[in-house]
Amino acid sequence: MRAYERLLHYVSFGTQSDHTSDTVPTTPSQKILGAALVVEMKALGIEDAFMDEMGYVYGTIPATKGMENKPVLGMIAHMDTAEDAPGDNIKAKVVEYNGGDILLNEEKQIYLTEKEYPSIKKYVGQHLVVTDGTTLLGADDKAGVAEIMTMAETLMNDPTIEHGTIKIGFTPDEEVGRGADHFDVERFGASFAYTVDGGELGELEYENFNAGSARLVVNGLSIHPGSAKNAMLNASLLAMEFHSMLPVEQNPRYTEGYEGFYHLGEMKGHVEQAELDYIIRDHDAQKYEQKKQVMQDIADYLNHKYGKGTFELTITESYRNMKEMVEPHMHLIDNAKEAFAQCGVEAQTVPIRGGTDGARLSYMGLPCPNLGTGGHAYHGPYEHITLEGMDQSIQVIRELIRIFGEQE
């Protein structure tokens, strides 16, 4: 089975995580996909495949004869999808791309356009998996799951391909920053690993944001507007005042590369209370700490202005830049670059403008860079990925496994 066929099957499972939930995983649907993956893995001959009570899926591809003492390598992807767009009842389809705009939905006249997504121009003559423009696709990261599973099928069915022990891991809740919370690194048993998550073909990433979330609760005072002079505190307006004091240029819309940002993801409120949810990101640890301090300073200033307890700011850490954990093991990067080169793919070492389970896992003792899956426009209705890119990604993974098998 080709990877795209698996992807089309996996996206039929609605597996959005939920940042407001305190359960593990945050949504029960993730365990439904996890259970299906265990059944599939066992059918491939991965005898120890299982899902734990937290929804993490593990399995082992045994080393071929004579390769048992080679480094144990892990391959990891996440099962959940983002909350940023509808993620149920996905109507995915394969289109042959011959140039121009792609009609996703005839009834609603929704197009994937070259103007908005110029990267599609390089895929003329290839085949794209797309949606009907009303939901996300879920290639982030079910494409990674599909590529790892297809790689596993190849290795399990062809004993002539020599390799060391390969560990497989599929995580829940990566999109809400909790994917590594309950990952059992010791039980996983790998010396090193790669996440196969997001990014176009050739992307190789071992730098990511330092990341946190900030929740601001603003407490106002409601009084009849006819007699509100010098008395009413409109929480919604105070929330707007707080946001207006953040640096305008440090908005995601105006940042790129290594530049960090504050991102207001959700807000709701009325006169008596308003709630704002932010994420804070920066590759530079010092600048990240400064961003957190700026938010705290604004809250303190406004509490002094309007009264103690008016602004309640809670900042929660999500993950750290994995760079310092990976740099002592640069053979992970060198091996990946060699694998890309052997497969005729140009490696692009770029900073992740987001997060990955690998960041947390690297700090948990499992150095874990990221390999791109071949997709684009994640977290939205224009998400797409090429069949050919997925096939090449599998070739890269296989080549990477071969390279590790030649090392002591």
Q: For 26-50, how does the pLDDT look when each residue is reduced to its tens digit (9 = 90+)?
A: 999 999 999 999 999 999 999 999 9
Q: For 327-373, how does the pLDDT look when each residue is reduced to its tens digit (9 = 90+)?
A: 999 999 999 999 999 999 999 998 988 878 999 999 999 999 999 99
User: Which DSSP state fits 23?
Assistant: S
The β-bridge partners of 281 are 211, 261
CA distance linking residue 96 with residue 201, whole number of Å = 19
Strand ranges for 283-369 from DSSP E: 311-319, 348-349
**For this structure, is 80 an active site residue?**
yes
Q: For 286-297, how does the pLDDT look when each residue is reduced to its tens digit (9 = 90+)?
A: 999 999 999 999
Please report how the helices 235-244 and 285-306 are oriented relative to each other, as an axis angle in degrees rounded to 10.
140
Predicted confidence (pLDDT) at residue 198 exceeds the cutoff of 90: no
**For this structure, is 84 an active site residue?**
no
Kindly list the distances between the CA atom of residue 193 and the CA atoms of 141, 158, 184, 333, in Å, as whole numbers in the listed order. Answer: 16, 22, 13, 11
The β-bridge partners of 371 are 196, 204
| Catalytic, out of 141, 147, 173, 174 | 174
The three-state secondary structure class of 196 is strand
> For the CA atoms of the chain, what is the radius of gyration?
23
CA dihedral sign, ordered 73, 194, 380, 85: positive
Per-residue pLDDT, 305:
98
Per-residue pLDDT, 100:
97
Q: For 329-340, how does the pLDDT look when each residue is reduced to its tens digit (9 = 90+)?
A: 999 999 999 999
Using CB atoms within 10 A of its CB, is residue 71 exposed (0-12), middle (13-18) or buried (19+)?
middle
Per-residue pLDDT, 352:
87
Kindly list the distances between the CA atom of residue 231 and the CA atoms of 107, 225, 274, 301, 399, in Å, as whole numbers in the listed order. Answer: 52, 10, 18, 19, 69
Contact 355, 333 (CB under 8 A): no
Predicted confidence (pLDDT) at residue 314 exceeds the cutoff of 90: yes
Per-residue pLDDT, 389:
96
Instruction: Name the percent of the chain lying above pLDDT 90.
Output: 95
| Catalytic, out of 40, 80, 140, 153 | 80
Predicted confidence (pLDDT) at residue 168 exceeds the cutoff of 80: yes
CA distance linking residue 18 with residue 46, whole number of Å = 30
Cβ within 8 Å of residue 350, ≥6 positions away: 199, 203, 204, 205
Q: Which residue from 30, 39, 41, 134 is spatially nearest to 91, judged by alpha carbons?
A: 134
Residue 93 has which token pair?
């389809």
Cβ within 8 Å of residue 332, ≥6 positions away: 192, 194, 206, 326, 367, 369
- Pairing type for strands 203-205 and 127-130 reads unpaired
Per-residue pLDDT, 199:
85
Q: Which domains does the chain have, with CATH numbers?
A: 3-208+321-405 (3.40.630.10), 210-319 (3.30.70.360)
Q: For 63-121, how does the pLDDT look when each residue is reduced to its tens digit (9 = 90+)?
A: 999 999 999 999 999 999 999 999 999 999 999 999 999 999 999 999 999 999 999 99
- What number of other Cβ atoms are within 10 A of residue 228's Cβ? 14
Contact 63, 181 (CB under 8 A): no
Q: For 378-396, how does the pLDDT look when each residue is reduced to its tens digit (9 = 90+)?
A: 999 999 999 999 999 999 9
Per-residue pLDDT, 408:
74
Q: For 394-403, how does the pLDDT look when each residue is reduced to its tens digit (9 = 90+)?
A: 999 999 999 9
CA distance linking residue 318 with residue 353, whole number of Å = 14
Per-residue pLDDT, 193:
98
- State the pLDDT confidence band at 3, using cuts at 50, 70 and 90: very high
CA distance linking residue 289 with residue 107, whole number of Å = 48
Q: Which amino acid is at 175?
A: E
